[in-house]
Structure 1
Amino acid sequence: MQITSFEQYQETYKQSVNEPEKFWAGIAENFLWKKKWDNVLSWNFSEPNIKWFEGAKLNITDNCLDRHLIEHGDRPAIIWEPNDPEKDSITLTYKILHERVCRFANVLKKNGAKKGDRICIYMPMVPELAIAVLACARIGAVHSVVFGGFSAKSIADRINDASCKLVITADGAFRGNKQIQLKEVIDDALIGCPTIEKVIVLTHTRTPVSMLKGRDCWWEDEVKMVDANCPAEEMDAEDLLFILYTSGSTGKPKGVVHTCAGYMVYTGYTFSNVFNYQPNEVFFCTADIGWITGHSYIVYGPLSQGATTVMFEGIPTFPTASRFWQVIEKHKVNILYTAPTAIRSLMGFGTEPLNGIDLSSLRVLGSVGEPINEEAWHWFDEEIGKKKSPIVDTWWQTETGGIMISPIAYVTPTKPSFATLPLPGIQPILVDENGKEIEGNGVNGNLCIKFPWPGMLRTTYGDHERCKLTYFSTYENLYFTGDGCLRDEDGYYRITGRVDDVINVSGHRIGTAEVENAINMHAGVIESAVVGYPHDVKGQGIFAFVIYPNLNKDADLTRKDILQTVTRVIGAIAKPDKILFVSGLPKTRSGKIMRRILRKVAEGDTGNLGDISTLLDPNVVNEIIESSKTL
């Protein structure tokens, strides 16, 4: 299953394009099946309707847990590193993890959960989060993990969209020097969630919480009432595994759906190959399980390959900027997978935090979430990898399930800030505005994929039409990624950023419409427009242009009020970095906001705005430019 030379990559890639079904069937043979497939693939992008490994029966937890027990039962599966370095880390072997997953799966059943039910998980980065995810998969329930930084309204929207039956949460979470009251947020959210029957609460921060009789119960009490015998539910290849909500270009988050077999095969294949994973190595992905990176490369990918995966509760700079490096030294981490935002943030502290820390165990470095800029790439290479550890700069999305374009460690020659080449099985294509293929090298275009891959989304939950419109309608018979892309003279791919109304903040996609809706909920706001602009640490920051006619009080206080509103409606992650009060927005005569102009203003590039004569009121642009000089 592993590719070990560039020649082998080229050969395998050719085979994967010429005989894709044979290629993927070969990969799938490396997994455990209750029943093999009748048909490898049937597909139609215009519907879209994609089915992989039809007729196959399996359970992903058999592959992540059971199959490792005989030979590797005592191997560490999860190493948990707490937020507070003074506290002890916890290691769960495959045997212990299997036992805890089975036990908690029985807790879910005892509380009325069954195959097909949707379960919302809102938890800190603790081992029980991984256990909860796997326990859902064990019984065939569909998990919907919500990142611990989202607001009560965001959680309620997600619970209601999926008609969730249960919530799994904790009393609170530690994040750096902050405590987050998770149960309190859930209580606020559930005021408007009629489908929730039970809430299971883990004790973590020992914060006093309100427990409703008949609805709420403690994790610790529940696990004592069940045994650890829970055979894995037989699942169909195309049964739902999980829903993960992602921001779109409209205000409503969309529930991306991944199914059992294809996702399992794809995450296992990409994990093993991209990182050149070797038996008994320690893999440290610094993401949160609330995002797709954590699903695919903390839980399912590594565990399906019998790897040891590190879960870190804290943040890179707490209590000092040495924290990441100390975790690597302490656990002798071999592979580090992190985000450019974290790298840029740590670069800002210089090399002093690295003094006296042994990073010699590191063999592979990885970057995820957004394109990594050259300066950060070189710092990562020189200071962390000591020019000995290849950097895999990975491009992929929530919708793709796993890594799509990336160097393969020790195989692909790398190039700073390039995602390099597609993995075998992935067929990218660049197109112009009209969907015409742009051939050759040294070209720019919109990035699409022309053939299905097993890890791709199947639908958006409860709204298949939205899936079709968002991903499959822009260009005929292609999956549209929403990203612009450059293909250089060597055929290497470099992602140049979003081409739709989505901003990539610290590697997380945030829809402009969602932020605008939240700003517009503030009582004094008439209208707003949000764009992304280059940010030294986050990659992109959020710039908001706000019409607020009665700005007779302190403008800074009003800004704080608006930020508070956004935090309450979406969560702190979506707070604008800059808010500019304006009297009007640049609109066409049909009422469309010309974001291109606002982006130029946000970037400080007002010398070349192009033709503004078609605007309803061209004077508004000069006024916005003048106002922007005061920020």
Structure 2
Amino acid sequence: MICKFVVGIFKEPASYKQSGRNKMEQVVHDDEKMKFWMSLVDRIFWNTKPTKVYDKSDDGLYHWFPDGVLNTSYLALDFHVEAGKGEETAIIYDSPVTKTKSKLSYRKLLESVEKMAFTLDSLGVKKGDTVVIYMPMIPEALVSMLACARIGAVHSVVFGGFAPHELAVRLDDCRPKIVITASYGVEISKIIPYKPLLDEAMHLSSHKPDYVILKSRPNLEVIMHTGRDFDWDELMETAGKKKAVNVSSGDPLYILYTSGTTGKPKGVVRDNGGHAIAMHYSMEVIYDMKPGEVFFAASDVGWVVGHSYIVYAPLIYGCTTVLYEGKPVRTPDAGAFYRIIEEYKVKTLFCAPTAFRAIRKEDPDGKELSKYNISSLKYLFLAGERTDPVTYDWACELLKVPVVDHWWQTETGWAIAANMMGASPLPTKAGSATKPVTGFDVRILDEEGHELNHGEKGNIVIKLPLPPGCLPTLWNDHTNFESSYLSHYPGYYLTGDGGYFDEDGYLFILGRIDDVINVAGHRLSTGEMEEIVAENSSIAESAVIGIADEIKGQVPLAIVVCKDGISIDQKSIEFDITHRIREKIGAIASLKAVVFVKRLPKTRSGKILRKTMRKMIDGETYSVPSTIDDPSILDEVMDVVRIKFPRTSN
């Protein structure tokens, strides 16, 4: 389906000639690509403007704009204040879970960042040192990130509430000089004390950070260790101001850990120069933003979306960013996002498809929307997992704005494929991330490395070099970087996702490569089956996984969540789903069963734990990801599954 709200309503912006997709489609040779990226250098302020676009440095890594010198914190703060925009709002903090709202101007935010940068410097943090930030969604988290960038320190944000063992693993890997934390985080109906978790992690870790800076929140006392632990507010009261230091373009800005196949998390490294260019560029050409407008990324600073589009991109570009400490539902209801949009005149909303599936589950008829005026909203961008066509169509019809499904990864830091709404918007197809973004040379290869034709499904790769803003390596583990991403197809980056281009050149993402199952020698996409399951009007969301079968190797199992208030007999729903899959894929699909559950187990970023469930059902050795949102949900699901499949491991 083509979203009717997209086709034929856009005009070509003035920046199109400089930034549009069509210009890049005409680029054939690598030297022309380099000229294109060099043409974007003047988008940001440099202390020393680069003369080279791309080069191999002494550390053996390739870097963008290698001889450039800049400071990311300066770009996000000082630059705007010095341009006379200091009184414009930088951050809107909205916390329904603590009933707190506030706004920070660019000037006030700069003052706080200067003080925290001074504090870190006074405690011995120098350029190149690492700092772990273990905080909830509060303004101090952003201040901490920008303060690290200001002095050239490398921050690593760990999602607040991570278990002590997982936090200890990250402490040992990046070896921070200081940890910045808060006394607790707030979920919908409970608080999570962070300080005890951090203390336990520091007990478990081999590396012991020198100091802890704690932001106290009301109504919870914490144990402070004399000589090691410092109170945030007390330090800020006596702090001076610290100017931004010069850093090289290729110097690391941050480390962000993502799950690794070996159990050890992979520390994705982001540089300063290429990242700043990519963030600034993407705000215009992908999200169609203008300085001063309001951008709402409903994510967490512990994830890449939070890094890129709560903190760095909006502030570097001069927008207002919404920092939301809440959920899409139950804080207090399914109209939470609509309230934010109306109250702060949000132009662009960016969230995971999971958020709108949750909203649709609790409010399938969209009644909550009628309470709010969301006329300021121009776009909904979805990413983080596949957007199933049913959710896409529902959001399109409900919001009556373009719904843009775009695809990217922690490793890339920004969109690989998207409908570039600020440059060359195209008709949008349900289930597709549209076309590759300027600079991403995406190909579909088979296992032997042969390029496939349109319509043929295979492994999605990106021809090297990766564009600015993508990871140059993994933290202290370049060998793993090469083996994980580069060695399978020399000359290409392996995304780990499977998909295909259709006849119009639109890219369709079918899910992780290991989400493809083999039924009697036939490779079938579980993502495609989930699309079919979602066509049943009673289904809110689903996970289709391949479980072991003695005869066929694997057979698909559908685990589904029904919409609230559904009274249709489960046997009727199962019959309909089985019939649909048989009709649209064929008898070979052999759907084993449909299992009905109340909720699906997910990571905090909204990814369903398909692989974990499959291993548990098959009785294989498994590990529960540290990023799981609520372990009890996984237990609930497996209890239901075990009734039908007693062989499931306990």
Q: TM-score, normalised by structure 2?
A: 0.78
Q: 5 Å matches for 1:4-83?
A: 4=16, 8-15=20-27, 19-42=32-55, 49-69=61-81, 70-83=83-96
Distance of aligned partners of 1:41 and 1:630 in 2 relative to their CA distance in 1, 3 Å threshold? closer
Which residue of 152, 156, 166 corresponds with 1:140? Answer: 152
Q: Deviations over 1:351-384 (max 9, x none)?
A: 1222321111101110010110111101111112
Which residue of 463, 479, 484 corresponds with 1:470? Answer: 484
Q: 5 Å matches for 1:293-308?
A: 293-308=305-320
Distance of aligned partners of 1:575 and 1:258 in 2 relative to their CA distance in 1, 3 Å threshold? farther
Distance of aligned partners of 1:412 and 1:136 in 2 relative to their CA distance in 1, 3 Å threshold? same
- Asked whether 1:213 is paired with 2:281, we answer no
Worse overlay, 13-22 or 50-59: 13-22
Worse overlay, 352-361 or 304-313: 352-361
Which residue of 127, 138, 153 corresponds with 1:115? Answer: 127
1:195 is displaced (CA, Å) by 2.9
- Asked whether 1:372 is paired with 2:387, we answer yes
1:241 and 1:108 map into 2 onto residues whose CA distance is 16
Question: Which residue number in structure 1 is paired with residue 294 of structure 2?
Answer: 282
- Asked whether 1:422 is paired with 2:422, we answer no
SS at match of 1:63: helix
Which residue of 456, 459, 462 corresponds with 2:473? Answer: 459
1:16 and 1:335 map into 2 onto residues whose CA distance is 33
CA contact (8 A) 1:532 1:541 kept: no
- Bigger relative contact order (CA 8 A; separation at least 6): 1
1:502 and 1:257 map into 2 onto residues whose CA distance is 29
Which residue identity does 1:191 align to in structure 2? H
2:514 and 2:314 map into 1 onto residues whose CA distance is 32
2:499 and 2:443 map into 1 onto residues whose CA distance is 10
- Asked whether 1:162 is paired with 2:174, we answer yes
Which residue identity does 1:394 align to in structure 2? H
Q: Deviations over 1:305-343 (max 9, x none)?
A: 001110101111112222121111111111100110001
CA contact (8 A) 1:396 1:402 kept: yes
Distance of aligned partners of 1:50 and 1:548 in 2 relative to their CA distance in 1, 3 Å threshold? closer
- Asked whether 1:320 is paired with 2:333, we answer yes
Distance of aligned partners of 1:278 and 1:546 in 2 relative to their CA distance in 1, 3 Å threshold? closer
Which residue of 195, 215, 219 corresponds with 1:202? Answer: 215
1:63 is displaced (CA, Å) by 1.1
SS at match of 1:121: strand
Which residue identity does 2:168 align to in structure 1? A
Question: Which residue number in structure 2 is paired with residue 577 of structure 1?
Answer: 634
CA contact (8 A) 1:546 1:580 kept: no
CA contact (8 A) 2:161 2:194 kept: no
Which residue identity does 2:84 align to in structure 1? E
Distance of aligned partners of 1:566 and 1:211 in 2 relative to their CA distance in 1, 3 Å threshold? farther
CA contact (8 A) 2:618 2:647 kept: no
1:443 is displaced (CA, Å) by 2.2
Which residue of 515, 520, 540 corresponds with 2:608? Answer: 540
Aligned residue pairs total 546
1:458 and 1:138 map into 2 onto residues whose CA distance is 21
CA contact (8 A) 1:394 1:419 kept: yes
Which residue identity does 2:646 align to in structure 1? S
CA contact (8 A) 2:447 2:459 kept: yes
Worse overlay, 23-32 or 538-547: 538-547
1:461 is displaced (CA, Å) by 1.0
1:39 and 1:221 map into 2 onto residues whose CA distance is 45
Question: Which residue number in structure 2 is paired with residue 89 of structure 1?
Answer: 101
1:578 is displaced (CA, Å) by 5.8
2:515 and 2:397 map into 1 onto residues whose CA distance is 35
2:484 and 2:116 map into 1 onto residues whose CA distance is 37
Which residue identity does 2:44 align to in structure 1? F
Which residue identity does 2:394 align to in structure 1? W
Q: 5 Å matches for 1:583-602?
A: none
Q: Deviations over 1:245-266 (max 9, x none)?
A: 0002111111111111111111
CA contact (8 A) 2:179 2:209 kept: yes
Which residue of 497, 510, 513 corresponds with 1:483? Answer: 497
Which residue of 270, 273, 278 corresponds with 1:258? Answer: 270
CA contact (8 A) 1:83 1:176 kept: no
CA contact (8 A) 2:131 2:156 kept: yes
Which residue of 175, 180, 194 corresponds with 2:187? Answer: 175
Q: Deviations over 1:486-543 (max 9, x none)?
A: 111110001111114899xxxxxxxxxxxxxxxxxxxxxxxxxxx9976656663441
2:430 and 2:618 map into 1 onto residues whose CA distance is 44
Q: Deviations over 1:242-291 (max 9, x none)?
A: 10000021111111111111111112211221110023211100010100
CA contact (8 A) 1:548 1:581 kept: no
Which residue identity does 1:151 align to in structure 2? A
SS at match of 2:408: coil
2:460 and 2:296 map into 1 onto residues whose CA distance is 29
Distance of aligned partners of 1:16 and 1:329 in 2 relative to their CA distance in 1, 3 Å threshold? farther
Question: Which residue number in structure 2 is paired with residue 516 of structure 1?
Answer: none
Distance of aligned partners of 1:574 and 1:261 in 2 relative to their CA distance in 1, 3 Å threshold? farther
Worse overlay, 35-44 or 105-114: 35-44
CA contact (8 A) 1:83 1:174 kept: no
Question: Which residue number in structure 1 is paired with residue 261 of structure 2?
Answer: 249
Distance of aligned partners of 1:432 and 1:578 in 2 relative to their CA distance in 1, 3 Å threshold? farther
CA contact (8 A) 1:117 1:165 kept: yes
1:625 is displaced (CA, Å) by 8.3
Q: Deviations over 1:125-158 (max 9, x none)?
A: 0111111000000000000000113111110000
1:140 and 1:2 map into 2 onto residues whose CA distance is 36
Distance of aligned partners of 1:179 and 1:90 in 2 relative to their CA distance in 1, 3 Å threshold? same
| RMSD of aligned Cα (Å) | 3.3
- Asked whether 1:362 is paired with 2:362, we answer no
1:13 is displaced (CA, Å) by 3.3
1:175 is displaced (CA, Å) by 1.8
1:277 and 1:215 map into 2 onto residues whose CA distance is 43
Report sequence identity in percent: 36
Which residue identity does 2:236 align to in structure 1? V
2:89 and 2:19 map into 1 onto residues whose CA distance is 34
1:479 and 1:447 map into 2 onto residues whose CA distance is 9
Distance of aligned partners of 1:571 and 1:547 in 2 relative to their CA distance in 1, 3 Å threshold? closer
Which residue identity does 1:466 align to in structure 2? N
SS at match of 2:87: coil
1:38 is displaced (CA, Å) by 3.2
2:391 and 2:155 map into 1 onto residues whose CA distance is 35
Which residue identity does 1:353 align to in structure 2? E
2:648 and 2:215 map into 1 onto residues whose CA distance is 50
CA contact (8 A) 2:20 2:285 kept: no
